[in-house]
Amino acid sequence: MLLMQVKVTPHLKWSNLMTTEKNSWHLSKSVPVSLILALVIQAAAIVWTVSQMQSSIEANANSIVRIEIRTEKLELAVQGQAVALARIDENIKAIRMSVERIASKD
């Protein structure tokens, strides 16, 4: 258990308060070692978890960049296919008009 004792007097200055705080707290011998060990293990687990999260975030950022590049390429391919489809459609219309003109001559 962490204990801190500060005497409050009307004439206490800030510098005296800081000196009192530095000298007055101590770790009680009644604090079990297992509690301290558990806190150290928990702190290590938190550091490990944060580092794992950071590496996952970096991996996800790299994946996002690759997906963005791939999406841009696909968008260009789709635009090219849309232009080709429009040309094919216009060619079909021209062929249909030619066939109808030939059929109407007969």
Q: State residue 1's pLDDT score.
A: 46
| 18 & 56 share domain | no
Q: State residue 26's pLDDT score.
A: 72
| Contacting residues for 17 by C-beta, under 8 A, at least 6 apart | 6
pTM of the predicted structure, to 2 decimals: 0.50
Which tens digits make up the pLDDT trace of 1-29? 455 555 555 555 555 555 555 566 677 77
| 44 & 92 share domain | yes
Instruction: State the total domains in the chain.
Output: 2
| 25 & 49 share domain | no
| 78 & 45 share domain | yes
Buried b (16+ CB within 10 A) or exposed e, 5-42: eeeeeeeeeeeeeeebeeeeeeeeeeeeeeeeeeeeee
| 36 & 21 share domain | no
| 67 & 100 share domain | yes
Which tens digits make up the pLDDT trace of 37-80? 999 999 999 999 999 999 999 999 999 999 999 999 999 999 99
Tell me which residue range forms the domain holding 4.
Answer: 1-31
Q: State residue 22's pLDDT score.
A: 59
